[in-house]
Structure 1
């Protein structure tokens, strides 16, 4: 799994206004900005991302994924837009 492949999987399952993925091939970090996160708690947001990855999250393809998830409004308020 490459960062581009992981980015593509997430983007295919979630509408993303911004998406950054970095990692070493097993341990990953992602910054995800999506309108799909509106009204959802952090755990629910992470579950949405895990759902896009399906079984890959339970294998060595994606051993660990650290996420920072934002709504577009939260992202703008953080001065990132």
Structure 2
């Protein structure tokens, strides 16, 4: 798979999200910034992202992912602290 394909899958699952994907083949780093994550525990945030790509994981098109999730406020704070 290409990173653009993974990005499109994740974007389709979120309304008004900033999605960035790095990687190729079957290994990807996915970053999603969305207010849909507001008030959710980290595991629930990751489950929302996984739900967008579960079919590709099931058929081994995607083997490994690293997911980073932020609300817009968390992203702004991370950038100010130099963590983003």
Please give the TM-score of this superposition, normalised by the length of structure 1.
0.88
1:48 aligns with 2:55: no
Q: Which residue of 2 aligns with 1:33?
A: 33
Render the CA deviation track for 1:25-67: whole Å, top value 9, x for unaligned: 1111011101111111111011101111232122221111101
Number of residues of Structure 1 aligned to a counterpart in Structure 2:
80
What is the RMSD computed on CA atoms of the aligned residues? 1.4
Displacement, 1:20? 1.1
Structure 1 moving runs of 4+ over 3 Å: none
Q: Distance in 1 between matches of 2:63 and 2:16?
A: 23
* Residue of structure 2 equivalent to 1:15: 15
Aligned to 1:76: 76
Structure 1 unaligned residues grouped into runs of 5+: none
Q: TM-score of the superposition, structure 2-length normalised?
A: 0.85
Uncovered stretches (5+) of structure 2, i.e. residues with no partner: none
Aligned to 2:63: 63
